[in-house]
Amino acid sequence: MSRKGEAGIRGSARPKFINAPETCVADSLAGFVAVNTAVRLLRDSGALVRHDYEQLAEEGKVALLSGGGSGHEPGFSGFIGEGLLTAAVAGPVYTSPFSDNILGAIRTKAITEGIRAEMVLIAEDTALAHTHPSTGRRGLCGSVFMMKARGTIAGAMAEEKKNLDEIKAFVQAKKHNMGTITVALTPCSLPGRDELLFNLPAGKMELGMGTHPASAD
């Protein structure tokens, strides 16, 4: 490594394996589809889909979608496949996709085309009450278990052409059997920024943080 490169690394408090902060999400998605030929990237949407998603629609099978903030790859994208998710939407780093806009667009288009769409909210964070003033409980690692459940069971149900109501009822019932509380030993930072998301004194840990971790406020 050159001296210039070494100086560059030392000059950044928290170096990361990225080309540039502003393209790291797009680069990650492009890299994922480059090595996974069964997954396609929908340009300008941040969505990855099964390569045969159109065939699934023609066969009348229920599509299973999920997603979340980038920075945990392969994360949600890694659950796309036969008997698993049909598609996954990637948001900005450490930030969920703009769910209201995405859900609204999906529902509007689906209703216009006569396609039913339902949502199951995963919110098993026990550090927050269901009545939290902002959004209620968050979905943490429980979302992974539910994607697996949707994959191995609900996904299989979709492959078997079970209807939307049957699949939703199953996942809705199972999600209540989960609970998660997080612990953070160190804070993290966003790509391209040295400042930490929160302060944590040496030798201390914090309970009830987010996935990254982020504040529970």
Please indicate whether residue 212 is annotated as part of the active site. Answer: yes
Catalytic residue among 130, 132, 176, 212: 212
d(CA 49, CA 80): 7
φ/ψ of 24, rounded to 5, equals -65, -35
- Let me know the angle formed at the C-alpha of 119 by 118 and 124, rounded to the nearest 5 degrees: 155
Catalytic residues: 212
